Amino acid sequence: MPPAELIAEVLLKAVLPAAALAALLLGVIEFLGGKQSVAAAAALALAAGVGLGFWLCGTVELASGSSRWNQLPWAALAALGVGVSLRLPGVPSAVAWITKAVCAAAIAWFVIPPETRADGWWFVPGFAVVVFAEWALLERLAARPPDGSIAAALALSALTAAAVLVHAGSTRLMEANIVLAAALGGLSAAAWWRRLDVGAAVPGAVVLLAGVALFGQQSTYTEISWTAFLLAAAAPLTLAVSLPLWRLHGARLLLVRLALLLPPLVAAAVLAAEAGPLMSE
């Protein structure tokens, strides 16, 4: 476990403000604008919560210098905008699918630095596939039913990624994931209370989750297997098994989704812990 002082500092400095702002914005905008405003509200709430947390933690720049990875938060913001626009009435399903795929590919090419692409041709297409698959799957699941459980699943994945990254020695990237988890937790709580579909927040969340995991895997020097980073970032894809079970509601569906999500997350945490003691930047 990280030092108690570090946990308390991050909790008070960023986690609570990010979660509170995300939940408050979603609730207020939905109350004032009605159900038709929920998509824009969810995207705005996630962006505001994460943005506030990043600013308070000093993680707006994920890397020192002029690294392309520093464009990742802006790429996530762009994905949120694209996601909201695709929910406008009259957008054909085929156009939405193609746009999501093109957006995921463009973000992968935009944020992954040339030196990382030179290390392996698979980084750009692999990143794009994970983002597109999670975007398409989780956005659909978030509405079936609209209970905030998908935002909670992404929050758990971000927390696990934070645990992997702190073992890898990156306090900065750990804090970035904790802030993401906090904002998603605030969204999840508000969505559960009001039974809202917050799937519009999915694009930005998955871009940050996958992007920070890949950046951490590339920028840290540890014996942690790349599998741990991949499991933490791609664990939500296991929820595809729950697609036919959308008629389940309440605790039963939540338990099914939790049972699907926990094995890869636990495996990621175990792989990171077995690789060595905690280190810090």
> Given this model, what pLDDT does residue 141 score?
93
Using pLDDT thresholds of 50, 70 and 90, give the confidence band for residue 280. Answer: very low
Amino acid at 277: P
Residues 6+ apart with CB under 8 A from 206: 79, 130, 131, 134, 135, 138, 154, 236
**Domain extents in the chain:** 4-274
Query: Over the stretch 113-152, which tens digit does the pLDDT of each residue have?
Result: 998 888 888 999 999 999 999 999 999 999 888 888 999 9
162 pLDDT exceeds 80? Answer: yes
Q: What tens digit of pLDDT does each residue of 239-272 get?
A: 999 888 867 777 788 888 999 999 999 999 999 9
pLDDT for position 281 = 46
Q: How many CA atoms lie within 13 A of 60 on its CB side?
A: 8
Q: Report the C-alpha gap between 154 and 5 in whole angstroms.
A: 26
Residue 6 pLDDT class (50, 70, 90 cuts): low
pLDDT grade for 157, boundaries at 50, 70 and 90: very high
Q: Where are the alpha helices (DSSP H) in the chain?
A: 4-10, 16-33, 38-57, 72-85, 93-111, 114-119, 123-141, 149-168, 171-194, 202-219, 226-234, 250-274
Q: Within 10 A of 247 (CB to CB), how many other CB atoms are there?
A: 8
For position 250, what pLDDT does the model report?
72
Average pLDDT (175-198) is 94
Per-residue pLDDT averaged across 210-225, rounded? 88
> How far is residue 162's CA from residue 278's CA, in Å, rounded to a whole number?
12
Over the stretch 23-73, which tens digit does the pLDDT of each residue have?
A: 999 999 999 999 899 999 999 999 999 999 999 888 888 887 788 999 999
Q: Find the mean pLDDT for residues 1-13.
A: 63
What pTM value is reported for the model? 0.93
More confident residue, 204 or 274: 204
* CA nearest neighbour of 84 among 34, 36, 23, 21: 36
pLDDT at position 121 is 87
The CA distance from 260 to 252, in Å, is 13
Proportion of the chain above pLDDT 70, given as a percent: 94
Q: Which residue has the higher pLDDT, 12 or 260?
A: 260
